[in-house]
Amino acid sequence: MALQLRPNCEYCDKDLPPNATDARICSYECTFCADCVDNKLHNVCPNCGGGFERRPIRPAIERRPGVCVVKHPPSDKRVHLKYSVEDVAAHSARWRDIPPQER
């Protein structure tokens, strides 16, 4: 099963194409841009409370049969936060000083 590769930052709605090097995901594939993760979320996922990692780049060229961005296209469904900016800030403040592996 391939990652969804969601097309946007859930916080600021910045486009994050499949080859975006600034896309970050949590273990549930919540997707945000590096700027929001670093400066607004402080490495705390507003949905699950986990941390973020760089989203891998799906190969553009089929180097093995059936394995590339053309054969497994990214999602085109834009996702947006269901929490207010104030709620996200409070959630982040509550958990940001605890390392993700200890949350």
Q: Are strands 23-25 and 31-33 parallel, antiparallel or unpaired?
A: antiparallel
pLDDT at 1 over 80: no
Burial 53-89 (b: 16+ CB within 10 A, else e): eebeebbeeeeeeeeebeeeebeeeebebeeeeeebe
Please tell me the pTM assigned to this model: 0.92
> How many percent of the chain have pLDDT more than 70?
100
What is the rounded distance in angstroms from the CA atom of residue 103 to the CA atom of residue 20? 28
Record the tokens describing residue 101, joined without a space.
């592996």
> pLDDT tens-digit profile of 44-61?
999 999 999 999 999 999
What is the rounded distance in angstroms from the CA atom of residue 80 to the CA atom of residue 56? 21
